[in-house]
Chains A and B, each alone.
Chain A
């Protein structure tokens, strides 16, 4: 179990409130927590209730995401696992250190970054991570230009991620450069840092499915250190429509029937086309944002506007397929 979970007195107090710990056990746990403080953290002024509240908030946010059943199931498992490990530890049972490094594979726009950000929040509220922030990096941020530069650059980024999550997008590109590429040095620096700072940060490697699979297979060091693999499948048309509804609802808009039919037709055409943007939420967001702008243009010269008209997105506001290809090409 990570050291700062033991150090998190808030969790001890939650245990007491929920009747899993007696006051004596709670005092004991608090005592060991303050004993193990090398550098005494400031007395947390945040109340217990707010930490628990934020955890629930993050879980609700996760649940409100469309699709992503695999991720949701995994997060539930992890939340339960962490809670139980915590209780086991308080009762002086053996508890394992958590290895939470992950590989996210899937096309762009399938929710990888969104999930990583939410996990950061969840892990902070559960006491696994100190800060839970997300540091999003790619090859260019980690790999240097001359010998010795790479290790330094990679270490700098890791330093920024301590206490949170280091999210490396298109991580496979670290291994594609050939024998003399500096990407390899970056990988070994990363692995070294993961050993040195075991409980202090989580690494998430993200990228396309095939490339990531190849990357992981060819690096035994990586394979053994990333026990959690999550696939982010492309969204189905139904899921994309739900996402569109949700986005519009948040912005106080809605589609009329014709617009809905056009959007659906557009999305299913796109899904078959196997293009880079097929089946992802970013495509939907772009279409919707465009539609909102087009609706504004349609309405802007009118003298009188009803509330209804301001909310409604019509068929002509949704752009046709050829325009979309042009825009995203």
Chain B
């Protein structure tokens, strides 16, 4: 089974994208496996709308551990299962809370074992940041792209395309991350999910 990891800064819409993608792939009840940083595992089945209501929120670090969903993709005549892994958001500084730090270590650890990498960047935010001062070497997204890009199966998802200013953000992301595949998506409206699906399918 191939593993597909979804990662990025906090509050860029990782969990919503995972759920919407599952929805798009005709998963009715999402069976989510939560994997504690400590090693404990448990799973819970949610109807889609409840999953969105319970797991997605406006505050950063809503996702506290690895949450994975298995999705079946039709590949040729057969079926292939992909483990879609939703992760805790990565920040630039050292986080105060040891549990969140553990969860971030878990994210990076999972990244090393993933064959498909979806790196989400908030296009809405990128459109509103001061475009004159470009991010430095220290920027998390730059570092993440440099690390994960050469590993194969990598793409950047410019999320929140439904919000104002996101077009400008997308252009900026395309400029900063030339050479990488950038897909404009709105997890909220479902726009662009087709391309994400195709990206996963292509790397199976």
Interface residues of A (CB under 8 A from B): 9, 13-14, 16-24, 26-28, 30-31, 34, 43, 45, 47-49
Are A13 and B143 in contact, with the CB atoms below 8 A? no
User: Which listed residue (A18, A20, A23) contacts B91, Cβ 8 A?
Assistant: A23
Give min CB distance, B87 to chain A, whole Å: 12
Find chain B residues with CB under 8 A from A48 CB.
105, 109
Q: For the complex, is B90 an interface residue (Cβ under 8 Å from A)?
A: yes
Residues 101 to 152 of chain B near chain A (Cβ within 8 Å)? 101-102, 104-105, 108-109, 112-113, 138-140, 143-144, 146-147
Stretch at the interface among B42-50, B77-85, B92-100: B92-100
Q: Which 9 A-B residue pairs are closest in the complex by CB-CB distance?
A: A31-B147, A13-B105, A17-B105, A23-B90, A16-B105, A27-B143, A22-B94, A24-B92, A27-B147
Does any Cβ of A come within 8 Å of B39's Cβ? yes
**For B76, what are the chain A residues with a Cβ–Cβ distance below 8 Å?**
none
Given A16-B108, A23-B108, 10 more A-B residue pairs with CB atoms under 8 Å apart are A13-B109, A16-B105, A19-B98, A22-B92, A22-B94, A27-B90, A27-B140, A30-B112, A31-B147, A48-B109
**In the complex, residue of chain A having the shortest beta-carbon distance to the beta carbon of B109:** A13
Contact, CB under 8 Å: A47 / B98:
no
Between-chain CB contacts (< 8 Å), 14 pairs: A17-B105, A19-B94, A22-B92, A22-B94, A23-B92, A24-B143, A26-B108, A27-B147, A28-B143, A30-B112, A31-B143, A43-B112, A48-B109, A49-B39
The reply to whether the CB of B179 lies closer than 8 angstroms to some CB of chain A is: no
A309 to B109, CA, bound (A): 54
Shortest beta-carbon distance from B10 to chain A in Å: 11
- Distance in Å: Cβ of A6 to nearest Cβ of chain B: 15
CB of B131 to closest CB in A, whole Å: 22
A49 to B105, CA, bound (A): 11
User: Smallest CB–CB gap between B139 and chain A, Å?
Assistant: 8
Q: Within the complex, what minimum Cβ distance (angstroms) separates B90 from chain A?
A: 5
Q: Is the interface of A mostly helix, strand, loop or mixed?
A: helix
Q: How far is the CA of A26 from the CA of B109 in the complex (A)?
A: 11
Give bound CA distance, A34 to B152, whole Å: 14
CA–CA, A31 and B108, complex, Å:
11
| CB of A91 to closest CB in B, whole Å | 12
Q: Binding site of B, secondary structure by majority: helix, strand, loop or mixed?
A: helix
Nearest residue in B to A49 (C-beta to C-beta)?
A: B39
Residues in B neighbouring A43, C-beta threshold 8 A? 112-113
A27→B146 CA distance, assembly (Å): 9
B39, B91, B147 pick with most chain A CB within 10 angstroms: B147
Q: Which residues of A are found within 8 Å of B146, using beta-carbon distances?
A: 31
Is B109 within 8 A of A21, CB to CB? no
Return B98 CB to nearest CB of chain A, in Å: 7
Bound Cα distance from A26 to B104, whole angstroms: 10
Cα of A17 to Cα of B138 in the assembled complex, Å: 19
In the complex, chain B residues whose CB is within 8 Å of the CB of A45 = 113
CA distance in complex: A49, B37 (Å)? 9
- In the bound complex, how far is the Cα of B132 from the Cα of A83, in angstroms? 41
B92 to A, closest residue via Cβ: A24
Contact B104 A16 (CB under 8 A): yes
Query: Are the C-beta atoms of A27 and B94 separated by less than 8 Å?
Result: no
How many whole Å from A10's CB to the nearest CB in chain B? 8
Which chain B positions have C-beta within 8 A of A14? Answer: 105
Query: Please, how many angstroms separate the alpha-carbon atoms of A13 and B90 in the complex?
Result: 13
CB proximity of B12 to chain A, nearest CB, Å = 14
Provide the bound-state CA to CA distance between A27 and B105, in Å. 10
Contact of B143 with A16 in the complex, beta carbons under 8 Å: no
Q: Is A13's CB under 8 angstroms from B140's CB?
A: no
**Which residues of chain B are near A34, meaning CB under 8 Å?**
147
Q: How far is the CA of A43 from the CA of B5 in the complex (A)?
A: 15
A267–B163 CA distance with the chains assembled, in angstroms: 84
B112 touches A17 (CB 8 A): no
Contacting pair B140 A24 (CB below 8 A): yes
The CA-CA distance from A328 to B116 in the complex, in Å, is: 65
Picked from A19, A31, A47, the residue with its CB within 8 Å of the CB of B101 is A19
Complex alpha-carbon distance, A27 and B143, angstroms? 7
The distance in angstroms between the C-alpha atoms of A300 and B17, with both chains bound, is 72
Contact of B108 among A19, A20, A30, A49 (CB under 8 A): A30
Question: Would you give the shortest CB distance from A24 to chain B, in whole angstroms?
Answer: 5
Chain A residues with CB below 8 A from B92, complex form:
22-24
Whether the pair A17, B101 counts as a contact (CB closer than 8 A) is: yes
